[in-house]
Chain A
């Protein structure tokens, strides 16, 4: 394996890991507040289709991104109303959100399948992008990837260093105590869910406006679900989310590696790899039930109402 190939693999790894990173960061915040939203795949798809339609119709990629974020938030608000407002089972509501998002995006995007669009292009920073191995990976990406770096830093800072992060954790660990201290539990949770929606919408628009600038039904191909596994993999720790996202990115581009070293394997078999990797990771991490429970937010997935 020569150095050019490695440079390219690192570059593609970050590109492929970016949508996973974005969704997983959103879901991390959501789960830290005690809410399990399985609707990531649906919100991502809706973000992807709205982003594409808007960018295609107006010619503005950024407007597409913005409305994709809004679209993700809108769906997450639906989830919040049903799961938090009406106290419905979070697992079922999340599933409903995904099924709804799949249907809505396929319906809305039916006329847009296969239309060509010039998406976000990579922007190489002078000098920095010439650094061997990591230069291209870190400094020759498109603007949304740079944005994902910034959002990672923001989430890490907020969760680890600020009062807001503490409040989110308190609400997720012990909503009764948090409420007794006067924290507005449901409002914090709703906002956390909506942050998750925004990130999923953004991740969707990354797929349809940068990664592969086009719309195809179900183009997220399970990334929303992989991101959910990623949060478990990361034991709800933000730095491990970053690591995990890029590792899964790597698993998704193994075909590139295989080509590079001259192995030919069926593309269908290679396409299975990220899913197999997800299962393997879940197995390795969940084996120790007590340890998993130790890291998970205590009230994760449990409905909560004030005063009852």
Chain B
């Protein structure tokens, strides 16, 4: 071992925030090497991926459109992860939110009152929260591992959505395409400016951002959530009710993911389609970690992730690179982040290596 890790004794606050930056830089470097190996000019590819999409105002507005659902999901996940509740189910909660919102919207296409939109949005939030609540119920009532149940519920949610979009919710006048009817104008999120697709969902996202920030940083409930995450036993000793907190965290993250889903169908899409989400719920996992489970950090990381989505589309159109570049970078970034996080608690040290190896050898001989 030439490089050894030495415990710092306490966590380094600088590294806490440097680590995501370092991870992003390492991802860019590895990405460039990959592009080079594939015979593309790395600088040109990175330009196509990260800079070209933002070259005009339309691009910037598209960035916001893509960032909204990711931000909402990641904010919810941050609450759950702060409590060390591993909700992997944002994707399913998003899909169920979209499904429920659509089920309501196609039945009130004729409505002209503004209550139509409120009804659609609320049903999306409630359905998403209920789907998250299912995981909470399985965990608190039956002690079932929430990672596995929430993943399974993702697959179930996707199949439910497909079942309805191919069946009961299919537009009768839609030439048998698996799509619902277009929503009525009153149940659509209004577009904010003429020259883009940014919609009123932006206000919901800002509201959620403030709410989650207050919850995590200024409320006793948020304090309880964090204590639960740091030390389950301690939380129990001081009388915090674990089950209630598990329910709370999963309802919040489910509700926010449901809002993200219904925001997509009532916003840019305008109807229920099989591909409501290109994996926003999974992307939000990386985004939540990259933003350090902090609402402000998550704003930046969700913009970065949205940029990767836009860049992926751009790279496919202009350079014939697979759009999956987005997911690849997503994975690399999370991996590098976890690797860099070691520097929060440990200090790297160069060592001669001789002493360590010989002592290891001695202990091995002792074993035989």
Contacts and interface: CB of A to CB of B under 8 A. Distances in A.
Contact of B367 (A95, A181, A287): A181
Contact of B289 (A81, A92, A221): A92
By CB atoms of chain A within 10 A, which of B153, B331, B337, B368 has the most? B331
B142 A106 contact: no
Nearest to A278: B152
Given A222-B152, A269-B163, A272-B160, A92 B143 contact: no
Interface residues of B, number: 52
Given A88-B342, A91-B86, A182-B363, A107 B147 contact: no
Contact of A100 (B159, B334, B363): B334
B37 to A, nearest CB: 12
A5 to B, nearest CB: 26
Contacts of A93: 335, 338
Interface stretch (A192-200, A204-212, A225-233): A225-233
Contacts of A78: 335
Interface string A259-281: 00000001011011001101100
B177 interface: no
A2 B153 CA distance: 35
A286 B153 CA distance: 17
B253 interface: no
Nearest to A183: B367
B14 interface: no
Given A107-B322, A268-B162, A286 B142 contact: yes
A272 B147 contact: no
Contacts of B138: 279, 282-283
Interface of A is mostly: helix
B61 interface: no
Contacts of A143: none
Q: How large is the interface on A (under 10, 10 to 19, 20 to 34, 35 or more residues)?
A: 35 or more
A150 interface: no
Interface string B102-142: 00000000000000000000000000000000000010001
Contacts of B341: 86, 88
B231 to A, nearest CB: 15
Interface of A: 38, 42, 78, 81-82, 86-89, 91-93, 95-97, 99-104, 106-107, 110-111, 181-184, 217, 221-222, 225-226, 228-229, 232, 266, 268-269, 271-272, 275-276, 278-279, 282-283, 286-289, 292, 308
Closest 4 A-B residue pairs measured CB to CB?
A182-B367, A100-B331, A103-B327, A110-B322
Given A104-B331, A268-B162, A271-B159, 20 more contacts: A86-B342, A88-B339, A95-B334, A96-B334, A99-B285, A100-B331, A103-B326, A106-B324, A107-B324, A110-B323, A110-B324, A225-B151, A225-B152, A232-B148, A268-B163, A272-B155, A272-B159, A282-B145, A286-B144, A308-B7
